[in-house]
Amino acid sequence: MTGRQAERSNVNAPTRFVSANGEKYAYRRFGGGPGLPLLCLQHFTGNLDNWDPAVTDPLAQERELILFESAGVGRSSGKVPHTVAGMASHALAFLDGLRVSTCDVLGFSLGGMVAQQMVQDRPSVFRKLMLVGTAPRGGEDVMHLEKPALRRFLQDPTLKGYEVLVKIFFAPTESSQAAGEAFIARLGLRKDDREPASGPEIAAAQLAAFRDWEQFRGERFAGLKTIRQPTLVVNGVFDVMIPVMNSFWLSQHLPNSVLMTYPDSGHGSLFQFYESFTRQASAFLASDSPLAPY
Amino acid sequence: MTGRQAERSNVNAPTRFVSANGEKYAYRRFGGGPGLPLLCLQHFTGNLDNWDPAVTDPLAQERELILFESAGVGRSSGKVPHTVAGMASHALAFLDGLRVSTCDVLGFSLGGMVAQQMVQDRPSVFRKLMLVGTAPRGGEDVMHLEKPALRRFLQDPTLKGYEVLVKIFFAPTESSQAAGEAFIARLGLRKDDREPASGPEIAAAQLAAFRDWEQFRGERFAGLKTIRQPTLVVNGVFDVMIPVMNSFWLSQHLPNSVLMTYPDSGHGSLFQFYESFTRQASAFLASDSPLAPY
């Protein structure tokens, strides 16, 4: 515990491993304080190194953060599931492996879908949810990388490493692009003990999960009504990867949710407005109201 | 000043009058602190007595609040304009009469439309805007009292006095209706120096203004791009008077805005979640960032 609490940054927290469910999951766990642990679930092809220290580190001042690497990603063993439900199973097994019986959860993009699924599969584990840049099951225009607005960047050979994230996570304004450059500079602060980058097989499996997530049976969004936990929904109004309409739907159908949107920003609004986001997230998590408004 | 600062509640702040623009405007001014004065613009047929002390009084701890009674309403002289622009003219003349050269503004419902118009007409006066339960010019389904979901309550003879507000400002859940009952109880706390209730002529003129506000020329919502002030947009997701889609549009087209929505609530979400609303509004107004995120 002492060693873990001494580390409060994703820049230098060591990658750890836990065996559960027949897999070996990579994770990082750092920070501490009065709050419940906060499980952090990552985006499409993202790994532990994609967690912006400007977002994780302020939150780690008041609670432990647990960054999870799902099966088949980074140094976690196993295969990437082709459904969100499969990913939720891995994340629940991981929590069991750590013997974490109750926590809060921050899910970004794909991670927000996994969070919704986990809460529906095992509601007793979760106290509060934060769903950023994500969509409900049955959402629309979820991660269609083939559409021109995204393809033009994803197929641009001049964009190296994280540079493509500046284009696809941020709005095409000078201010948002500058925030994007600062974001990828922060991702580069961690020098050692990094995860291997995700390849095309990981992408293909996760894209299959998005296609499945867009499908729904029966009444659209009805499943959201079963999620009673206080939920904070966040997105940038110019998100081209998972348009903000999906966050509007979350806010209208999650019975105990507050929506906050950010201007001049896209999918990565939490990284652009990290000061505001961490302040709002801290206030939301610190509130002991059973209702989402904080 | 001393007398004014000693009063910090809409329950007992005296109604005052100022002459300007050939009219005599009723208003209340109370509270004090480091913040800029906050001009408060009221809803359809509402008068000074409709400002919930649970909303005004906490905000008055950090700044002066100025509650404005527009022409033809309550004890203000003149005729109710048939356009939002006409109401904005009165409010600007009123500020001139008080010699208030810079302030923040909280506009609720009709008041939010007047606020948008004022900021466009004279941008230099306003530092920050809060737009609650309102719509942009060119919005949709704005105060159609003739639709069955509203008419059933407005024409119900058993709903006396403020009781109709419980039905039309709050969601049809037990929790929201209870919040509505508490709201109208708070409106009754002020015993003396009350304003006369609005009659059908006031309602007719204001409804004409709503019909005009729904019209637009040229590119829809383009006028919002000229509003550069940091803006906080707020609504309940079950607003039947001015549906939340209008707040979504505001957040997508006001270039420097943050949207916050509340669950389980309607048009009067600020009165239902007054603790959260005043906390958020205070944090937003206290931020010295030129950007809306706070």
Has residue B5 got a pLDDT over 90?
no
Report CB contact under 8 Å: A260, B258: yes
Mean pLDDT of chain B, nearest integer: 97
Distance from C-alpha of B120 to C-alpha of A147, rounded to nearest angstrom: 37
pLDDT tens-digit map of A267-291: 999 999 999 999 999 999 999 999 9
Q: CB–CB of A120/A43 below 8 Å? A: no
pLDDT tens-digit map of B67-107: 999 999 999 999 999 999 999 999 999 999 999 999 999 99
| pLDDT of res. B6 | 53
pLDDT tens-digit map of B115-144: 999 999 999 999 999 999 999 999 999 999
pLDDT tens-digit map of A43-96: 999 999 999 999 999 999 999 999 999 999 999 999 999 999 999 999 999 999
Report CB contact under 8 Å: A248, B248: yes
Has residue A254 got a pLDDT over 80?
yes
Nearest CA in chain A to B278: A294
| pLDDT of res. B2 | 44
From the list B244, B254, B262, the residue facing A258 with the nearest CB is B262
Q: Which residue has the tokens 């000061």?
A: A275
| pLDDT of res. A1 | 41
Distances (CA, A) of A113 to A117, A132, A133, A257, B246: 6, 10, 10, 15, 27
- Inter-chain CB pairs, A–B, below 8 Å: 64
Residues of B in contact with A277 (CB under 8 A): 293
| pLDDT of res. A8 | 87
Report CB contact under 8 Å: A293, B263: yes
Residues of B in contact with A294 (CB under 8 A): 276, 279
Query: What residues in chain A have their Cβ under 8 A from chain B's Cβ atoms?
Result: 237, 244, 248, 251-252, 254-264, 273, 275-277, 279, 291-294
Q: CB–CB of B134/B44 below 8 Å? A: no
Distances (CA, A) of A24 to A43, A45, A176, A202: 20, 18, 38, 17
Distances (CA, A) of A17 to A27, B136, B199: 6, 52, 71
Q: CB–CB of B262/A258 below 8 Å? A: yes
Pick from A231, A234, A261 the residue to mutate for testing the B interface (most B CBs within 10 Å).
A261
From the list B251, B264, B273, the residue facing A237 with the nearest CB is B251
ipTM field: 0.97
Number of H helices, E strands in chain B: 11, 8
From the list A257, A261, A275, the residue facing B259 with the nearest CB is A261
From the list B256, B259, B291, the residue facing A260 with the nearest CB is B259
Report CB contact under 8 Å: A259, B260: yes
Pick from A175, A244, A248 the residue to mutate for testing the B interface (most B CBs within 10 Å).
A248
Residues of B in contact with A248 (CB under 8 A): 244, 248
Share of chain B above pLDDT 70, in %: 98
Has residue A5 got a pLDDT over 70?
no
Calculate ∠ Cα B173-B176-B177, nearest 5°: 80
Distance from CA of A151 to the nearest CA of B (A): 24
From the list B260, B275, B292, the residue facing A258 with the nearest CB is B260
Q: CB–CB of B29/B16 below 8 Å? A: yes
Radius of gyration from C-alpha coordinates of chain A: 17
Has residue A4 got a pLDDT over 50?
no
The whole-number average pLDDT for the span A28-34 is 97
Has residue A3 got a pLDDT over 90?
no
| pLDDT of res. A192 | 96
Query: What residues in chain B have their Cβ under 8 A from chain A's Cβ atoms?
Result: 237, 244, 248, 251-252, 254-264, 273, 275-277, 279, 291-294
Residues of A in contact with B255 (CB under 8 A): 263-264
At B244, list the tokens.
């939340």
Distance from CA of A77 to the nearest CA of B (A): 40
pLDDT tens-digit map of B26-69: 999 999 999 999 999 999 999 999 999 999 999 999 999 999 99
Pick from A174, A258, A274, A294 the residue to mutate for testing the B interface (most B CBs within 10 Å).
A258
| pLDDT of res. A6 | 53
Q: What is the distance of C-alpha B134 from the center of its chain?
A: 8
pLDDT tens-digit map of A81-110: 999 999 999 999 999 999 999 999 999 999
Q: Which residue has the tokens 């404005």?
A: B68
From the list B261, B275, B293, the residue facing A262 with the nearest CB is B293
Has residue B292 got a pLDDT over 60?
yes
At A290, list the tokens.
């059973």
Calculate ∠ Cα A49-B289-A271, nearest 5°: 15
Distance from CA of A249 to the nearest CA of B (A): 10
At A98, list the tokens.
């750590």
Has residue B290 got a pLDDT over 50?
yes
Distance from CA of B50 to the nearest CA of A (A): 23
